[in-house]
Structure 1
Amino acid sequence: MTTSTGHPTPSDDAESVFERAYRLIETELGGRRLPPEPRTWLDDLARTRRYKTALITAVWNTCFPSGVVEACRVVEAVYPYLDPDGLCTDAALTAAWNVLEPDAHTWPEQLQDERRRFTSKCLDRALAEANTAVTDHA
């Protein structure tokens, strides 16, 4: 019969049950944790698809495109210009603006400025909505 003695450690309320179980396994059985499984290109593809789908839905709901096809075109135009945190850049706004308002160059400058600010707010709201949707379902 094998016995083991455990030395009580002060309880750490921040430690989860999962962490405690791992610590016990490491201590009692001499085990070690397995590293997390490496990410594959398929994981990245699935995450990108999930994000683009959420962004298309958000653009459709907030940016007032003429249809779902135009919402898809906006997302495809904007996506490469997003910053690493998924936030809007000036290049992304310009890409969205070119899809949503293709004839804006014929408008008076004041109207262009107003509509561009409106598009910027709509795009920021759509990106925030998509980022939240992806984070909630991750």
Structure 2
Amino acid sequence: MIGTEAWLTRLLLMLVRHTRLSSSDNHDEAANEISVTDRFRELIDLHYRQNLPLRAYAAKLAISLVQLRAACACTTGQSPAKMIYSRIITEAKGNLIFGEMSVEQIASGLGFSDAAYFTRFFCMEVGQAPSQFRLTARE
């Protein structure tokens, strides 16, 4: 009986230690994903006007595209592309509300070679054309 009790105690301690290690690994993994996402946001702020492919961002972070997607999905619930789009839209909205540039100038400043494509992109993301957004926001 004492031998069985000692064996069960030992087994229980091994399980507790393993659980702690697994929990620590999960914490380290989550912290790493947050760090990757934060560094990705910094890169977005530096390069969102350049229309870089996602692979270029992953290369700058020294990770794979799969790792970048996983980190973004885990920490923000968004894809890396959606995070870039959100940054572009935020800048576009600011320019439309507070600036006097034309839609064509804003599009060019954000790295779009075609103002019509920018307008379609803005409509898909915001739900209205840039010029309509400007009028509504300024009223």
Say whether the fold is shared (TM-score over 0.5): no
- Higher relative contact order by CA 8 Å / sep ≥ 6: 1 or 2? 1
